[in-house]
């Protein structure tokens, strides 16, 4: 039975805030207590085993089975102190969520007894019954099952009474079935490529790590209201709902204090995060009502991805305890800002240097410019792939919707660095430079840190912006696994750095001095990638025109955007850098298309169901009231009085009939289109059919439903309205 919204509202008004027990210790006392991190490892592992794990983390070396046995024993002993009974391999299948299969530690033995058993075998590898995870055909063709394998670079942690072991998820033939496997490979490649480029500047660099700091946006909606909206329950977004009289125009939520109930949710989320070593640092309101954001201190990319996945899981759990539901969907409400997940990305060295932060000397600034310009070139050359990396049915609502970055990839670098670029173009010559020219050049780049210090210009409309010491990929969706975007970004930068090294070495082999060679190649890159740099308003119509003139793509929908994943260029890039084989990438493409199709299919079904089972019946009920009223008027008035007095009612009756008719006809037509689309075998064609034939009905049905919401008696309307979802506290 659908819950009427009045019942739900009553529940909300009677809510008693949930009190949480605040730990009496300070954060530093309980930070990371639920993580089998370095401290616990030191305590529970032999020196040898500890070094073996640390070497795996730092250099990617293999951990021998004997050591794995020791680590397993140590993990078990440590978890025992936390009262843990089960363990699980925790992994990130391509569905976007995280998955786990819990196994008990105990094993039955003779005599009706049991012992606790957890050895290297159980730690290193496990077969989840995974036949229902998407595999794009890989597993079906080769093997029925995939297996999970321990990722020692991300520490195990305890949630409740379960020890969670971060793992990769691969098929028996070794193909990646998850987000983590290709990310780890991309990060490994990046380390090698970037370290070798660093050798031009600093021989002490032996490792380069990609860093990620994400900013997670989300909405909090009361559970009772959520439960009264089948569309929210089933799709995570409202498929109907007229805008409320007040929206976000006053921006009073953004500047307001965080409401008590939300604060209490956040505090509990933070405490749990800190115990799990997730370094959540900031929290604030976002632009839309009931919208919030939290962000951690940045970390090594793979760990940051795991922590974001973990945080999203915890948000769900903690929210329920506070009678909230958390909406991670990119666009839960029409006409209200959607949610994103900015991915702040940079590169750090083992010597403690941020490679995207200008230094104090011309030498370190040449290093900065090298990584800065190579990143720009990588994004320029692979803009479509970057676009593909953030494509999803959900994110289609956001990109280009004048509140989120456009679907056109561009890079904002700020006016000062633009100035530096044009100076470089002017000063760097392809022939030999005179000593004077060289020192002028070096003097010029030596000034970068000073100018960046007062670089306050920020561009909120750019999908990929340089923010002083990092790039911010702002087009990532709020529900996405960051690994999707991060795998692509790290892989294309890897590929670019390898090219760069070759280009510079080639010039040096021809006798060009190192710094000059670097300058020349960088200026070449600036020239060839310049068209992707854009400082203006990314939301404006002018930019759409200007971008077209520049030859930048504006790919509006997911089925089309995903093409870039399987272009020969991408397949070669991934293979060349050992991130993914063509087969893996093609399988992934198929999965993403299927996911798209399923999402639109589900939304379409819910729209149909709600229209026929709730909206139209409600409209008819109200229409009957009006008809009744008209009949009574007829009895009451003489015929000329009746004509003038019943006019409004008659018009309303007519309008309701018309809207019902449009809704019903559209639902029927949409269902027919769905049937046709379901018969299409080819994944791409099917996704396109859902996008171009099925989805256009959503707007039409919604428009008419929302108009009905405006005229139908408030008491009768079954679904919580926007004002209630967004403003009831």
Choose among Mg ion, ligand ADP, none what residue 297 binds, the Cβ cut-off being 5 to 8 Å by kind. ligand ADP
Task: Mark the segment that binds Mg ion (CB under 5 A) among 164-172, 334-342, 458-466, 580-588.
Answer: 334-342
Task: Mark the segment that binds Mg ion (CB under 5 A) among 336-344, 415-423, 530-538, 716-724.
Answer: 336-344
> What span, in angstroms and rounded, lies between the C-alpha atoms of 135 and 339?
28
Q: What is the 3-state secondary structure (H, E, C) of 61-84?
A: CCCCHHHHHHHHHHHHHHHHCCCC
Confirm or reject binding of residue 341 to Mg ion (CB under 5 A).
no
Q: Tell me which residues in 438-467 interact with ligand ADP (CB under 6 A).
A: 467
> What span, in angstroms and rounded, lies between the C-alpha atoms of 521 and 558?
35
Among 152, 182, 213, 359, binds ligand ADP (CB under 6 A): 213
Provide the token pair at 316.
Answer: 């769900």
> What span, in angstroms and rounded, lies between the C-alpha atoms of 450 and 295?
28
Nearest to ligand ADP of 341, 589 (CB atom): 341
SS3 state at 333? coil
Instruction: Yes or no: say if 311 and 216 are a contact pair by the CB < 8 Å rule.
Output: yes
For residue 462, the minimal CB distance to ligand ADP (Å) is 13
Task: Mark the segment that binds Mg ion (CB under 5 A) among 28-36, 313-321, 342-350, 363-371.
Answer: 342-350
Q: Which residue is nearest to Mg ion (CB)?
A: 342
For residue 208, the minimal CB distance to ligand ADP (Å) is 12
Choose among ligand ADP, Mg ion, none what residue 237 binds, the Cβ cut-off being 5 to 8 Å by kind. none
> What span, in angstroms and rounded, lies between the C-alpha atoms of 396 and 524?
35
DSSP states along 73-128: HHHHHHHHTTT--EEEEEE-BTTSS-EEEEEESEEEETTTEEEE---HHHHHEE--
Confirm or reject binding of residue 198 to ligand ADP (CB under 6 A).
no
CA angle 343, 348, 353 (to 5 degrees): 130
Choose among Mg ion, ligand ADP, none what residue 501 binds, the Cβ cut-off being 5 to 8 Å by kind. none
Provide the token pair at 102.
Answer: 């819990």
CA 686, 691, 693, 698 dihedral sign is positive
Nearest to ligand ADP of 118, 345 (CB atom): 345
For residue 342, the minimal CB distance to ligand ADP (Å) is 7
Task: Mark the segment that binds ligand ADP (CB under 6 A) among 64-72, 196-204, 209-217, 233-241.
Answer: 209-217
Confirm or reject binding of residue 211 to ligand ADP (CB under 6 A).
yes
Confirm or reject binding of residue 212 to ligand ADP (CB under 6 A).
yes
Per-residue x/- track, 324-363, ligand ADP (CB under 6 A): --------------------xxx-------x---------
DSSP states along 467-487: -SSSEEETT-BTTS-HHHHHH
Nearest to ligand ADP of 98, 344 (CB atom): 344
Among 38, 223, 350, 469, binds ligand ADP (CB under 6 A): 469
Task: Mark the segment that binds Mg ion (CB under 5 A) among 125-133, 192-200, 339-347, 544-552.
Answer: 339-347
Nearest to ligand ADP of 474, 702 (CB atom): 474
- Helices (H), ranges, 530-646: 541-550, 558-561, 568-576, 582-610, 616-636, 639-645
> What span, in angstroms and rounded, lies between the C-alpha atoms of 317 and 314?
5
Choose among ligand ADP, Mg ion, none what residue 708 binds, the Cβ cut-off being 5 to 8 Å by kind. none
For residue 468, the minimal CB distance to Mg ion (Å) is 11
Kindly report the backbone phi and psi dihedral angles of residue 67, in degrees, each rounded to the nearest multiple of 5, phi listed first: -70, -40
Residue tagged 């990130």 (tokens): 92
Among 307, 342, 387, 695, binds Mg ion (CB under 5 A): 342
C-alpha closest to that of 448 among 413, 420, 418, 424: 420
C-alpha closest to that of 614 among 712, 486, 541: 712
Nearest to Mg ion of 215, 709 (CB atom): 215
For residue 287, the minimal CB distance to ligand ADP (Å) is 14
For residue 295, the minimal CB distance to ligand ADP (Å) is 4
Q: Tell me the angle at which helices 415-427 and 362-381 cross, rounded to the nearest 10 degrees.
A: 100
For residue 300, the minimal CB distance to ligand ADP (Å) is 10
> What span, in angstroms and rounded, lies between the C-alpha atoms of 481 and 498?
27
* Residue 207 CA: distances (Å) to CA of 141, 192, 244, 357, 696: 39, 8, 53, 17, 50
> What span, in angstroms and rounded, lies between the C-alpha atoms of 377 and 375?
5
Confirm or reject binding of residue 470 to Mg ion (CB under 5 A).
no
Choose among ligand ADP, Mg ion, none what residue 213 binds, the Cβ cut-off being 5 to 8 Å by kind. ligand ADP
Confirm or reject binding of residue 397 to Mg ion (CB under 5 A).
no
> What span, in angstroms and rounded, lies between the C-alpha atoms of 696 and 603?
12
Q: Which residue is nearest to ligand ADP (CB)?
A: 213
Contacts of 315 (CB under 8 A, 6+ apart): 218, 269, 326, 328
Q: Tell me which residues in 38-67 interact with ligand ADP (CB under 6 A).
A: none
Q: Tell me which residues in 284-323 interact with ligand ADP (CB under 6 A).
A: 295-298
Nearest to Mg ion of 342, 721 (CB atom): 342
Confirm or reject binding of residue 329 to Mg ion (CB under 5 A).
no
Per-residue x/- track, 289-328, Mg ion (CB under 5 A): ----------------------------------------
> What span, in angstroms and rounded, lies between the C-alpha atoms of 194 and 515?
17
* Residue 525 CA: distances (Å) to CA of 171, 426, 572: 40, 14, 21
> What span, in angstroms and rounded, lies between the C-alpha atoms of 561 and 407?
9
Task: Compute CA 154 distance to the chain's CA centroid, rounded to the nearest angstrom.
Answer: 19
Choose among Mg ion, ligand ADP, none what residue 79 binds, the Cβ cut-off being 5 to 8 Å by kind. none
Residues lying near ligand ADP in the complex (CB under 6 A) are found at: 211-213, 215, 295-298, 344-346, 354, 467, 469-470
- Residues in contact with Mg ion by the rule CB under 5 A: 342
């Amino acid at each position: 039975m659908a819950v009427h919204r009045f019942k739900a509202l009553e529940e909300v008004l009677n809510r008693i805030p949930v009190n949480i027990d605040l730990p009496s210790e300070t954060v530093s006392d309980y930070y990371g207590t639920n993580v089998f991190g370095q401290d616990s490892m030191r305590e529970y592992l032999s020196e040898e085993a500890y070094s073996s794990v640390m070497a795996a983390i730092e250099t990617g070396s293999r951990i021998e089975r004997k050591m794995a046995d020791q680590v397993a024993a140590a993990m078990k002993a440590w978890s025992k102190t936390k009262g843990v009974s089960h363990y699980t391999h925790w992994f990130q299948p391509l569905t976007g969520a995280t998955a786990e299969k819990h196994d008990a530690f105990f094993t039955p033995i003779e005599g009706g007894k049991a012992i606790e058993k957890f050895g290297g075998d159980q730690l290193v590898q496990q077969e989840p019954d995974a036949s229902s995870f998407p595999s794009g055909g890989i597993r079906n063709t080769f093997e029925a099952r995939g297996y999970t394998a321990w990722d020692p670079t991300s520490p195990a942690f305890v949630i409740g009474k379960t020890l969670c072991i971060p793992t990769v998820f691969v098929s028996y033939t070794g193909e990646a079935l998850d987000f983590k496997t290709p990310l780890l490979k991309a990060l490994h490649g990046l380390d090698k490529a970037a370290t070798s480029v660093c050798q031009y500047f600093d021989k002490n660099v032996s490792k380069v790590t990609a860093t990620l700091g994400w900013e997670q946006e989300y909405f909090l909606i009361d559970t009772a209201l959520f439960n009264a909206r089948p569309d929210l329950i089933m799709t995570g977004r409202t498929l109907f709902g007229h805008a409320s009289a007040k929206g976000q125009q006053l921006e009073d939520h953004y500047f307001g204090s965080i409401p008590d109930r939300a604060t209490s949710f956040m505090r509990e989320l933070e405490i749990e995060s800190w115990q799990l070593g997730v370094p959540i640092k900031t929290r604030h309101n976002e632009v839309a009502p009931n919208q919030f954001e939290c962000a951690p201190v940045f970390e090594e990319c793979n760990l940051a991805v795991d922590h974001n996945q973990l945080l999203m899981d915890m948000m769900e759990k903690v929210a329920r305890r506070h009678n909230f539901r958390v909406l991670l969907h990119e666009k839960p409400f029409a006409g209200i800002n959607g949610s994103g997940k900015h991915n702040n990305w940079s590169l750090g060295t083992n010597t403690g240097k941020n490679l995207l932060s200008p230094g104090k000397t011309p030498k370190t600034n040449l290093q900065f410019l090298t990584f800065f310009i190579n990143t720009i070139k990588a994004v320029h050359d692979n803009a479509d792939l970057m676009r593909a990396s953030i494509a999803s049915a959900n994110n289609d609502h956001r990109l280009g919707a004048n509140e989120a970055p456009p679907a056109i990839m561009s890079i904002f670098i700020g006016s000062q660095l633009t100035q530096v670029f044009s100076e470089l173009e002017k000063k760097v010559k392809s022939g030999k430079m005179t000593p004077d020219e060289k020192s002028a050049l070096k003097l010029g780049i030596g000034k970068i840190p000073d100018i960046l210090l007062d670089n306050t210009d920020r561009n909120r409309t750019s999908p990929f912006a340089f923010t002083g010491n990092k790039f911010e990929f702002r087009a990532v969706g709020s529900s996405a696994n960051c690994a999707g975007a991060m795998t692509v970004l790290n892989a294309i930068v890897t590929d670019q750095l390898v090219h760069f090294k070759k280009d510079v070495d080639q010039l040096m082999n021809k006798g060009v001095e190192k710094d000059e060679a670097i300058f020349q190649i960088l200026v070449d890159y600036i020239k060839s990638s310049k068209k992707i740099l854009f400082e203006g308003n990314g939301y404006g119509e002018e930019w759409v025109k200007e971008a077209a003139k520049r030859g930048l793509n504006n790919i509006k929908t997911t089925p089309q955007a995903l093409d870039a994943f399987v272009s020969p260029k991408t397949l070669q890039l991934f293979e060349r850098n050992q991130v993914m084989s063509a087969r893996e990438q093609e399988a992934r493409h198929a999965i993403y298309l299927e996911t798209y199709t399923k999402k639109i299919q589900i939304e379409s079904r819910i729209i149909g169901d709600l229209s026929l089972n709730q909206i139209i019946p409600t409209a008819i009920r109200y229409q009957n009231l009006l008809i009744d009223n008209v009949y009574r008027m007829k009895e009451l008035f003489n015929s000329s009085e009746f004509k003038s007095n019943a006019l409004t009612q008659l018009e309303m009756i007519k309008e309701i009939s018309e809207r019902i008719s449009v809704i019903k006809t559209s639902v029927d037509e949409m269902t027919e289109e769905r049937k046709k689309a379901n018969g299409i075998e080819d994944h791409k064609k099917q996704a396109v059919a859902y996008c171009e034939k099925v989805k256009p009905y959503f707007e039409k049905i919604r428009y008419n439903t929302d108009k009905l919401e405006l005229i139908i008696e408030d008491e009768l309307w079954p679904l919580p309205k926007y004002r209630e979802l967004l403003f009831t506290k």
